[in-house]
Structure 1
Amino acid sequence: MKQRKAKITRKTKETNIVVEINLDNILLPSVSTTIGFLDHMLELFAVHSGIGFKIKASGDTHIDDHHLVEDAGITIGQALKEAVGDKKGIVRYGHFLLPMDETLSYVALDLAGRFYLSYEADIKFQKNGFNYDLIQEFFYALASNAGITLHIKMIKGRNNHHIAESIFKAFGRALRQAVSYSKSKKTVPSTKGIL
């Protein structure tokens, strides 16, 4: 069976990003975005999704992190879409409820090719360090470019880092379910016959 993989390059005046994804080959993640917190979250996503994942990214972070975080989401989404391909034999749906100390987050997704994002996470504004509002921007960019229906809900939590970590881990676990093969590897999981 052909390996499901993709390599996408995005180069703009603001960012330069290369993403490689292999859904069938678990490798140690290679993550370098020049934003330490984003690196940490993407490593968590990669490990918990069980997919081969590499990203090398740089950008105009001297202005702020927005362009790089959003463009990383765009590029990862495009790579996921290409790697999943025609979706024959995949489970299609995934969901995961993930505890992280005092935090509990839930992620559910559908790889149907239709974009939708519901994002409910009460992350407090922070003056210094990573702008946690960018997490929603990241997932919006990823889901819209991958064609994913994505629901993210923080059920409870207090610590921004724990909330973010539980969301990225839960997303990885839900994606792992959705891209895994069902017992019927020959059919598309839809009555339409196509996704």
Structure 2
Amino acid sequence: MHKKKILFIDRDGTIIEECPRTHQIDSIEKVHFLPKVIFFLSKIYKELEFELVMVSNQDGLGTSKFPEQTFWPIHDHIINIMKSEGIQFFSVHIDQTFQHEKKSTRKPGIGMLTSYLTKKYDIEKSFVIGDRFTDILLAYNLGCKSIWIKKDGNRKNEEYFYNGKNLKNIISLITDQWNEIYEYLRFNCSGQSFLQRKTYETNVKINLSVYGYGKNDIKTDIGFFDHLLKQISIHSSMNMNIETIGDLYVDEHHTIEDTAITLGKVFCNSLGNKRGINRYGFFILPMDDCVSTVALDLSGRSDLIWNVEFFREKIGNVPTEMFYHFFKSFSLNAKCNLYIKALGNNEHHKIESIFKCFARSIKMAVKKITFNKISSSKGLL
């Protein structure tokens, strides 16, 4: 089962500016959204696999000090503005008590949020986003991480501690910029996976971030193969760390095959249920005297149509027969259909253009184009 990740988001000081004197947003004039929060929260909602849950303390709501009729119209106005920009909250939890009442429903208590502590949700990969230290404590009590919205960007060491507990590891990011929150979640929390595949012939470790920026560290001890794998990372924008220790004293076969198997598996794992992705990718790429065409479908099924001919036994230290085998192994384990065709005279250019074209097709296929939908009439990929 694909577990859901949650962003537990505070309201005042996080989505809208605090009202310093009264700490009550009880009129339209007091509603001021944080800079770019709507734009980047919309991108988070549409592109990343998080459910949004609002959690807010509203001191004494419903009492004479803060009548409900002055709160709900303003709150609904805020929610409707975000809805108009495509931002949907799965649920909204408002605690109406005072701090001195010490209710379990008041942040940092988790009394309102116990329904999320089930196997349906991946709490460890969820976040609390808020501007107060109580939001950090809420993350600690829930067992997730936190993003601290803090305008000065600084904090004293003593703020890490609460009742003797060091909360430093709870805080993943400190910022008052929503673009930085989006970038952090995109690069560190979406489309990430690690896999180690160990056999008597090879030991392969791959750390993959599908939505990265092309950072890579590739070590297979096959120079030209490393070069081609780097092309995948650079041209797909995926971050890839690959370490393969293989029985090269035998030959290159097991190292290349098992790297492809592991890369296919970790790529498939990174996409999760493939909700929201484009699914299809296709590209034509010229390189000097060569031109390559790649089309792929992340369909959940595997097939490879290979229309490429080589006239050398090896390129660098890679047998040319292994290129077909690499893509066949990837297709089987990534559960995708692949069509690959290349024309040209220079064999080095030919295979390099194939790998670059393959990478560009991946970049198109994994792009998030919608939210909460699967690009299939079956409802499953």
TM-score, reference length from structure 2: 0.50
SS at 1:90's partner residue?
coil
1:1-46 alpha-carbon deviations (Å, 9 max, x no partner): 3411111101111111001111122251110100001000000111
Is 1:180 equivalent to 2:374 in the alignment? no
1-structure distance, mates of 2:376, 2:318: 40
Is 1:118 equivalent to 2:272 in the alignment? no
Any conservation in 1 of the 2:297–2:365 contact (CA below 8 Å)? Answer: yes
In structure 2, relative to structure 1, the CA distance for the partners of 1:79 and 1:119 (3 Å cut) is: same
40-49 vs 184-193, which moves further: 184-193
Is 1:149 equivalent to 2:346 in the alignment? no
- Aligned residue for 1:7? 194
SS at 1:113's partner residue?
coil
Matched AA of 1:138: F
Once the 2 structures are TM-superposed, how far is the Cα of residue 71 of structure 1 from its aligned partner?
Answer: 0.4
Any conservation in 1 of the 2:302–2:336 contact (CA below 8 Å)? Answer: yes
Matched AA of 1:30: D
- Aligned residue for 2:260? 73
SS at 2:318's partner residue?
coil
Aligned sequence identity (%): 37
Matched AA of 1:131: P
Once the 2 structures are TM-superposed, how far is the Cα of residue 125 of structure 1 from its aligned partner?
Answer: 2.9
- Aligned residue for 1:140? 328
- Aligned residue for 1:24? 211
Aligned length: 193
Matched AA of 2:330: L
In structure 2, relative to structure 1, the CA distance for the partners of 1:33 and 1:119 (3 Å cut) is: same
1-structure distance, mates of 2:355, 2:210: 17
Q: How does 1:30-49 map to 2 (within 5 A)?
A: 30-49=217-236
* Unpaired stretches in structure 2, ≥5 consecutive residues: 1-47, 50-189
Is 1:194 equivalent to 2:377 in the alignment? no
1:106-131 alpha-carbon deviations (Å, 9 max, x no partner): 00000010100011111123267321
Any conservation in 2 of the 1:48–1:173 contact (CA below 8 Å)? Answer: yes
1:99 to 280, 286, 290: 286
2-structure distance, mates of 1:26, 1:54: 13
Matched AA of 1:163: K
Once the 2 structures are TM-superposed, how far is the Cα of residue 149 of structure 1 from its aligned partner?
Answer: 0.3
2-structure distance, mates of 1:61, 1:123: 23
Any conservation in 2 of the 1:132–1:160 contact (CA below 8 Å)? Answer: no
1:133-191 alpha-carbon deviations (Å, 9 max, x no partner): 1011011101100101000001x211111111000000000000000101x22100011
SS at 2:311's partner residue?
coil
TM-score, reference length from structure 1: 0.96
Any conservation in 2 of the 1:125–1:133 contact (CA below 8 Å)? Answer: no
Any conservation in 1 of the 2:215–2:237 contact (CA below 8 Å)? Answer: no
RMSD: 1.2
Once the 2 structures are TM-superposed, how far is the Cα of residue 58 of structure 1 from its aligned partner?
Answer: 1.3
Any conservation in 1 of the 2:214–2:236 contact (CA below 8 Å)? Answer: no
1-structure distance, mates of 2:322, 2:253: 7
Larger RCO (alpha carbons 8 Å, 6+ apart): 1
SS at 1:75's partner residue?
helix
1:160 to 332, 347, 352: 347
Once the 2 structures are TM-superposed, how far is the Cα of residue 96 of structure 1 from its aligned partner?
Answer: 0.6
1-structure distance, mates of 2:371, 2:298: 16
SS at 2:233's partner residue?
helix
Matched AA of 2:362: L
2-11 vs 80-89, which moves further: 2-11
* Unpaired stretches in structure 1, ≥5 consecutive residues: none
